[in-house]
Structure 1
Amino acid sequence: MRRISFALAAAFCLLASAAFGGEAEIKAAQDAIDGQMKAFSRNDGVAAYSFAAPNIKRIFPTVETFMDMVTGGYGPVHRPRNYAFGKVQEMSATSIVQQVLIVGPDGKDYEAIYTLELQPDGTYRITGVSLRAAKSLST
């Protein structure tokens, strides 16, 4: 029942987020997040690192230091059992905040808030992630 509630809540949030403009930008930002999550699942640190924005690469200048940070502090993002996009907000013409609802490797629910910025090459890159345990979505 808990998984069904989680999936229904995620689907509702996704439908609600598509109701406003900038759908192409939102899709591009979500593709960056999805690409990084899939790279994590393949143990492809180089590909995962490629979705990080320059500000993140300045803090973590190598793939190894980046992956150490991810594996050490972002287990649910690194190894999700499942994830779905939730609420999204365009903060400006070049900045998007995207909620991602995650079932972690421990089976618990988490909420990740991603910030992304449009880069000069026209791609969205991840500028930060805030992770917290989610309040139960089941009734």
Structure 2
Amino acid sequence: MPRTVSVLLLSGLLLLAAPVSQAQDGALIEGVISEQITAFQADDMEAAFALASPALRRLFRTSERFGQMVQQGYPMVHRPQSLRFLGRREVGGFVLQRVMVSDAEGRLHLLEYQMLQSGPGFVINGVRLIPAAGAGV
């Protein structure tokens, strides 16, 4: 009987620890994304590039190239008017964080950040624009 109680207590503690860990991860993830956007707004491409995953750093090689890609391909990320964190989920070893931003004209954009755990924190492994529901191609 004592073994059964121990197993039940351990199971309960693990269940309680999961939401705390997810909340901590969520705060870390939101912090990294916010920090990168702040760096973009300050035109500090070095700081923004430092928050990218090793794969992205290898792909773009320099912070200047990375910054140009963001300015041209993701102007709403480069200079957002507002930022709102939505849901997140885990898929294939990555955490996908949804973010809604408004651009300089006030248009809303839904983005999905692919976050990769790196040591005790996270880095950004990619961002994709999610098309608006009902938008035709």
Segment drifting more, 20-29 vs 110-119: 20-29
SS in 2 for 1:32: helix
- Quote how far apart the aligned CAs of 1:126 are: 0.3
Q: Which residue of 1 aligns with 2:55?
A: 55
- Quote how far apart the aligned CAs of 1:63 are: 0.5
Quick one: higher RCO (CA 8 Å, sep 6+), 1 or 2?
1
- Quote how far apart the aligned CAs of 1:49 are: 0.7
Equivalent pair of 1:26/1:96 in contact (CA under 8 Å): no
Structure of greater Rg: 2
Q: Which residue of 2 aligns with 1:100?
A: 99
- Quote how far apart the aligned CAs of 1:133 are: 5.2
Equivalent pair of 1:46/1:63 in contact (CA under 8 Å): yes
Which amino acid counterpart does residue 100 of structure 2 have in structure 1? L
Name structure 1 gaps, 5 residues minimum.
Answer: 1-19
Q: Structure 1 residues 133 and 78, CA, compared in 2 at 3 Å: closer, same or farther? A: farther
- Quote how far apart the aligned CAs of 1:72 are: 0.8
Q: Which residue of 1 aligns with 2:124?
A: 126
Give TM-score scaled by structure 1 length. Answer: 0.76
Q: Distance in 2 between matches of 1:60 and 1:72?
A: 14
2:85 is aligned with 1:65: no
Q: Which residue of 1 aligns with 2:77?
A: 77
Give structure 1 regions of 4+ aligned residues with deviation exceeding 3 angstroms. 132-136
- Quote how far apart the aligned CAs of 1:76 are: 0.4
Q: Distance in 2 between matches of 1:90 and 1:30?
A: 15
Q: Distance in 1 between matches of 2:89 and 2:26?
A: 9
> In the comparison of the two structures, how many residue pairs are matched?
115
Q: Distance in 2 between matches of 1:75 and 1:133?
A: 16
Q: Distance in 1 between matches of 2:91 and 2:28?
A: 15
- Quote how far apart the aligned CAs of 1:134 are: 4.0
SS in 1 for 2:97: strand
